Amino acid sequence: MKSLFRPQTILAAAAIMLGIAAIIMAMNPRSSAQPAKIDHAVDPILTSPDEVTIDPHADNFLSANYMLPGYCYANSQLTDAVAPGGFGPSENNAHKLQRELPGEGLYLLAQPTAVTKFGDNPGMRVLLVNQTCFTLSFGAADSRLHILQEAQDAEGQWHAIEYIPPVWCGNSLHHVYLKPDYYWAFPAPRYEGVLPAKLRFTMFLEDGSRIHSNEFEGSVNLEQFLPDESVQGAGDLE
């Protein structure tokens, strides 16, 4: 029995189907999203992606005598279709890069002299910038990303001076998505204390790796190194 389909016809049909699939994937960025990994990370590009005012003499310091909980909340650019739902939302939307920047990759940018509001206090900014070619996904709990500020001790070792509260409900867990050439800006405290120290931000990725921001000068209080939950949130901010 002769085939009713010529090889050329089959190849043409396959090409059409592949083209349709490519169009569908382009219309649905989530289908091509990638989990953020250390392979995506590069050293921070110190040029700001927006027109924020940088004030070298900014008086935006904050003194704390306890570990603050993490505060980097993000509103996803895509819906997490597999999350159970019920997690806490965020109104912190991603922003399009306002200028062309050199390089390509994922990075954290600390801007200690970019003055912004941190709650009722003056603060600084930390940015998570996606200059890759991919939409990247990040694990979150109630829209909070695992980003912490760290301080370096006299021996050169880095220690977290903030903490991520434990999650007691599985509904809190989900993913947030950041498209290429977009960034999230997070208000953050610019610490001041009795101990001079180098500071940086660290983000913990789902593959167990970490990415670090640029380092900057600051100072902290001894109590900020204490992980004891009895002091977390029990002190004062000034």
Distance, first Cα to last Cα, the chain: 87
Q: What is the pLDDT of residue 8?
A: 54
Residue 16 clears pLDDT 70, i.e. is over it? no
What pTM does this model have? 0.84
Structure tokens at 73: 């909340």
CB 65 within 8 A of CB 17: no
Q: What is the pLDDT of residue 6?
A: 55
Residue 129 and residue 110: Cα distance in Å, rounded?
11
Structure tokens at 211: 């990415």
> Which residues, 6+ apart, have CB-to-CB distance to 64 below 8 Å?
189, 191, 193, 221, 223, 224, 235, 236, 237, 238
Question: Phi and psi dihedrals of 31, rounded to 5?
Answer: -70, -20
Q: What is the pLDDT of residue 228?
A: 55
